[in-house]
Amino acid sequence: MKKFEEKTISSNRIYEGKIINLKVDEVSLPNGHTSKRELVEHPGAVALVAITEDNKIIMVEQYRKALERTIIEIPAGKIEKGEAPEYTAMRELEEETGYTADKLVLIQSFSTSPGFADEVIHLYAAEGLKKSTSGAVLDEDEFVELMEVTVEEAEQLMKENRIYDAKTAFAVLWAKQRLSIEN
Amino acid sequence: MKKFEEKTISSNRIYEGKIINLKVDEVSLPNGHTSKRELVEHPGAVALVAITEDNKIIMVEQYRKALERTIIEIPAGKIEKGEAPEYTAMRELEEETGYTADKLVLIQSFSTSPGFADEVIHLYAAEGLKKSTSGAVLDEDEFVELMEVTVEEAEQLMKENRIYDAKTAFAVLWAKQRLSIEN
């Protein structure tokens, strides 16, 4: 879909980083006017809705420098170069939570900030969850704390803004609908 | 909550733009190691779940340069300097859709990309929706097309990835729950 397309006139690369790049594009609008677009490039990420046998959602608590505080999120991680999203999701699930899944089912892919970033998150449901013998295997510079919460607890954490990111907010609503259909 | 806090050692401002800024912070991790964080600053935004009398969700279709395509989103806009989020929401609702609301109720605030950006979206339910006499009032450089879709249509648009951003995906699930409680 290219309705209202903004054609690139020129592109100025400002920064190439470890995770993100920044460029500023000059674009031609549908009415012939020109404008600038500040655009962040991101490799994309995966996230997982992993629900245990006793209907708890697996979450990780971690510090987010961008927000200068600790929040509670579903397991997620960025896609490494050349990785298929589903592989990233299996890897992150095991590394961050110590669980493995028989099967991943794509729930939805979505852009997080379409106004300025190309980041897309692929959100999977982890089915056939099993505790791996090795447990979570974190990098030595990775600090996360595992939690398992009911849907009701997750909704309370959203009210308190301790769950505070879009992918996790979506996941909580999705889990609520899924569990209400099953039960 | 400051668990696992990453303290700033130094901060290098790379870019100050019209909408976003970019800085790279050197941080001290809980184990004493240091790392770099690439951080985008954004003024924050509002978004609205506006449901018409005949249970349709108001959406806008627009081109997103970051994605190089057109997607369908709930009405939204960034917070201008000094604006209270609720004021921004009332303004964006009227400008983008030509509707006014008697009342806005905060559903949830969430970070869109906590890994690299401080952007927070405040999502409101617009209650007591009325068509304003003036209709939508767009800037001359703003190109959006209004749509009104049922929850079922919105779910189909999600499957087709024409609805493709996190705030709108959340809004569709939220509207589905709200309408199933009411009806």
pLDDT, residue A56, reads 97
B4 to chain A, any CB pair closer than 8 A? The answer is: yes
Beta-sheet strand order (sheet of A57-64) = A69-73, A57-64, A144-149
pLDDT, residue A137, reads 87
Cα gap B169→A123, rounded to integer Å: 12
* A167 to chain B, closest Cα gap in Å: 7
Chain B CA closest to residue A121? B166
pLDDT in tens, A107-155: 999 999 999 999 999 999 999 999 988 888 888 888 999 999 999 999 9
Three-state SS string across chain A, please? CCCCCCEEEEEEEEEECCCCEEEEEEEECCCCCEEEEEEEECCCEEEEEEECCCCCEEEEEEEECCCCEEEEECCEEECCCCCCHHHHHHHHHHHHHCEEEEEEEEEEEEECCCCCECCEEEEEEEEEEEECCCCCCCCCCCCEEEEEECHHHHHHHHHCCCCCEHHHHHHHHHHHHHHHHHC
User: Backbone phi, then psi, for B171, in 5-degree steps?
Assistant: -60, -35
Side-chain-side CA neighbours of B106 within 13 Å: the count stands at 14
Set of chain B residues whose Cβ sits within 8 Å of the Cβ of A71: 1, 111, 114
pTM recorded for the entire structure: 0.97
> Which residues 25-44 on chain B approach chain A with CB closer than 8 angstroms?
25, 27, 29-31, 33, 35-40, 42
> Which residues 120-159 on chain A approach chain B with CB closer than 8 angstroms?
121, 140-141, 143-145, 158
Best mutation target, A23, A116, A141, A181, to test chain B (most B CBs within 10 A):
A116
Q: Per the CB < 8 Å rule, is A164 touching B45?
A: no
Residues forming beta bridges with residue B49, ordered by sequence position:
B125
Taking all residues of chain A, what is their mean pLDDT, rounded to a whole number? 96
Supply the angle between the helices A151-159 and A166-182 in degrees, to the nearest 10: 150
Set of chain A residues whose Cβ sits within 8 Å of the Cβ of B106: none
* B133 to chain A, closest Cα gap in Å: 26
Per the annotation, the verdict on B140 as an active-site residue is yes
Instruction: With CA atoms as reference, report the closest residue to B7 among B27, B37, B35.
Output: B27
**Could you count the other beta carbons within 10 Å of the beta carbon of residue B164?**
23
Low-confidence ranges of chain B (pLDDT < 70): 1, 183
pLDDT > 70: percent of chain A:
99
